[in-house]
């Protein structure tokens, strides 16, 4: 008897192809799920709603680019961001210049990999309540002496480290506490602006990008609060990554991460940062901050 060979139906072929595809996708998904989430944080330099918007979009973007689960976790203050990075709770952080220096000192092998294009020449604004009688000046305004003054967070580069440096330069031999009638620490730049607007403090030091974002959004009344001085430029914010990410996510992961950050073009991601783009950077760019931190006694 001659055997009869039957051909599988089109329906059977389609079912087989779908089954194979599901198997392949399942294996790929399993491999992705086997890797722990890539977790990052950022210093809480603005109010929480802004941070959730800013970093939530970064997480979505990085997950698509890196092919691993990416999660953002908030922290309560600047030291908490450094601690989370130091103990390995996060692998990446958006640090200010000084907190980045602190984190890299505490974690050998950690490196700065990207900064905003604006961060190479960052600035602090001194802002004043109109009732203070202070007026804008190109030189450091000596008339701030005797006024009430608020820094931002104690570990903030633009809200504390550099303003204190410039204050000490303007009033040689004096600490801020000796220059002003009262000194406070607001905790973040948004709060600094609020305190000066309310008159709780006559003068404050603030990150110029936060001020500019609020100005652009129409949140500031120039008849109530204004910029009275703009600082010389200095290096500030950056993305810093731990050196052990390659062991977890594979060789070349750090460069893939850098490329992903530098490749961000979406204004919806960049605008909440007040940045036009991110650019590559190395640790050496922040050496000037180390010198300033040591001179002001904020770094051993």
Which tokens sit at 214? 């609020």
The pLDDT tens digits of the residues spanning 93-120 come to 999 999 999 999 999 999 999 999 999 9
Find the range with the poorest average confidence among 5-14, 145-154, 267-276.
5-14
For residue range 148-189, what is the model confidence (pLDDT) as tens digits? 999 999 999 999 999 999 999 999 999 999 999 999 999 999
Answer whether residue 30 shows pLDDT above 70.
no
> Running DSSP on this structure, what letter comes out for residue 297?
T
Quick check: 222 pLDDT over 70? yes
DSSP of 34-96, one letter per residue?
Answer: HSPPEEEEE---S-HHHHHHHHHHHHHHHHHHHSS-EEE---SSHHHHHHHHHTTS-SEEEE-
Q: What is the pTM of this model?
A: 0.83
pLDDT range class, residue 33, cuts 50, 70, 90: low
What pLDDT, in 10s, does the model give residues 241-274?
999 999 999 999 999 999 999 999 999 999 999 9
Average model confidence (pLDDT) across the chain: 90
63 HSE (CA, 13 A, CB side): 17
Q: What does the pLDDT read at residue 210?
A: 94
Most confident range (mean pLDDT) of 7-21, 27-41, 109-123 is 109-123
Across the range 207-236, mean pLDDT stands at: 96
pLDDT at 20 over 90: no
> Please, which pLDDT band fits residue 220 given cuts at 50, 70 and 90?
very high
Quote the pLDDT of residue 47. 81
* The pLDDT of residue 79 is above 90: yes
Instruction: List the Cα angle 178/184/189 in 5-degree steps.
Output: 130
Domains annotated on the chain, with CATH: 32-120+235-284 (3.40.190.10), 123-230 (3.40.190.10)
Say how far apart CA 12 and CA 250 lie, in whole Å. 40
Is residue 189 exposed (0-12), middle (13-18) or buried (19+ Cβ within 10 Å)? buried
Q: What is the mean pLDDT of the segment spanning 220-242?
A: 97
């Amino acid at each position: 008897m001659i055997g009869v060979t039957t051909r599988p139906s089109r329906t059977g072929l389609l079912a087989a192809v779908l089954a194979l595809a599901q198997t392949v996708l399942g294996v790929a998904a399993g491999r992705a799920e086997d890797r722990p989430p890539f977790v990052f944080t950022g210093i809480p330099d603005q109010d929480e709603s802004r941070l959730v918007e800013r970093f939530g979009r970064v997480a979505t973007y990085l997950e698509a680019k890196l092919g691993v689960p990416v999660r953002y976790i908030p922290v309560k203050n600047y030291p908490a961001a450094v601690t989370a990075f130091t103990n390995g709770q996060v692998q990446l952080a958006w640090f200010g210049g000084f907190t980045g220096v602190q984190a890299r000192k505490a974690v050998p092998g950690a490196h700065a990999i990207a900064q905003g294009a604006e961060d190479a020449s960052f600035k602090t604004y001194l802002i004043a309540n109109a009732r203070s009688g202070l007026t804008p000046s190109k030189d450091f305004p000596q008339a701030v002496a005797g006024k009430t003054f608020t820094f931002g967070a104690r570990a903030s580069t633009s809200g504390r480290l550099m303003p204190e440096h410039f204050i000490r330069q303007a009033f040689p031999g004096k600490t801020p506490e000796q220059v002003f009638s009262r000194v406070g620490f607001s905790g973040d730049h948004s709060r600094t602006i609020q305190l000066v607007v309310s008159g709780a403090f006559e003068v404050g030091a603030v990150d110029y990008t936060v001020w500019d974002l609020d100005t652009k959004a129409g949140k500031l009344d120039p008849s109530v609060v204004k910029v009275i001085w703009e600082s010389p430029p200095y290096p500030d914010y950056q993305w810093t990554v731990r050196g052990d990410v390659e062991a977890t996510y594979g060789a070349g992961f750090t460069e893939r991460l850098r490329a992903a950050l530098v490749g961000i073009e979406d204004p919806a991601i960049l605008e909440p940062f007040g940045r036009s783009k991110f650019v590559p950077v190395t640790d050496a760019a922040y050496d000037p901050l180390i010198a300033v931190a040591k001179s002001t006694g904020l770094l051993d």
